[in-house]
């Protein structure tokens, strides 16, 4: 993380990953999460088209247009921003402008989802051939304001009105307080045949809890 970024978690250059706290990873292999003992993404990619023909709406903090892992099939023409009123069609992440935000969260989840392969490294994205529609709906992953999420869901529903823009999957690695607007929007997406995958939030400090956040719940 750059040393001049405000509220950075740490400073300095890259460091080997620290697998601990009960995570059975491999400190020597940054791609351990893809193997047969974990996410099985390598096997899935070998047996599939890598997501070709699938369109995924990525609801998050946005994306970093300058990052090396930006998906090659990112649909910038369909991008929407429901956080910053002055740039409704620009889903780039500028969350670092305020305290307690999760800058680059969207970049991280997007790279795992469909990140482009960086020359000299192994493939990273799990569905690198899928089309990705970036939708900026928040500055942080713990959500207390519901309107931007509901508007994001409604936008995806609008895209489903045409085969040319139809969304097949929604990926949202965040959640928060219950909302009737969220429930209505999720139900509309299900009725349209969209698979909605959101964070459950049922883990805190690597310990399970009995709580599941919305809209996953």
CB distance 112 to 126 below 8 Å:
yes
Q: Does the pTM exceed 0.85?
A: no
Give mean pLDDT, residues 170-199: 91
Give mean pLDDT, residues 34-63: 90
Weakest mean pLDDT among 1-5, 114-118, 200-204: 1-5
Weakest mean pLDDT among 4-13, 60-69, 73-82, 184-193: 4-13
User: What pLDDT, on a 0 to 100 scale, did the predictor assign at position 157?
Assistant: 98
User: Per DSSP, what are the bridge partners of residue 132?
Assistant: 56, 74
CATH class belonging to 50-208? alpha beta
Query: What does the pLDDT look like over 66-80, one tens digit per residue?
Result: 999 999 999 999 999
Query: What does the pLDDT look like over 150-170, one tens digit per residue?
Result: 999 999 999 999 999 999 999
In the chain, CATH 3.40.50.200 covers 50-208
Helices 180-191 and 147-159 sit at what angle, rounded to 10 degrees? Answer: 10
């Amino acid at each position: 993380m750059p040393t001049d970024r405000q509220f950075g978690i740490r400073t300095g250059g890259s460091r080997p990953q620290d697998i601990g706290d009960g995570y059975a990873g491999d400190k020597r292999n940054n791609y351990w999460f893809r193997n047969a003992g974990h996410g099985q993404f390598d096997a899935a990619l070998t047996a599939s088209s890598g997501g070709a023909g699938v369109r995924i709406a990525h609801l998050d903090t946005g994306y970093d247009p300058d990052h090396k892992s930006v998906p090659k099939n990112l649909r910038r023409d369909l991008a929407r921003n429901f956080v910053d009123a002055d740039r409704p069609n620009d889903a780039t992440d500028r969350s670092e402008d305020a305290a307690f935000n999760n800058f680059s969260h969207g970049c991280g989840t997007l790279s795992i989802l469909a990140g482009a392969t960086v020359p000299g490294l192994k493939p990273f994205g799990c569905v690198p051939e899928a089309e990705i529609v970036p939708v900026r709906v928040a500055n942080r992953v713990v959500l207390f304001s519901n309107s931007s999420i509901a508007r994001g869901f409604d936008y995806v529903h609008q895209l489903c009105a045409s085969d040319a823009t139809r969304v097949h999957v929604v990926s949202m690695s965040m959640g928060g307080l219950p909302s009737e607007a969220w429930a209505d929007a999720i139900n509309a997406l299900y009725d349209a045949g969209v698979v909605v995958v959101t964070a459950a939030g049922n883990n805190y400090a690597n310990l399970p809890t009995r709580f599941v956040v919305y809209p996953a719940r």
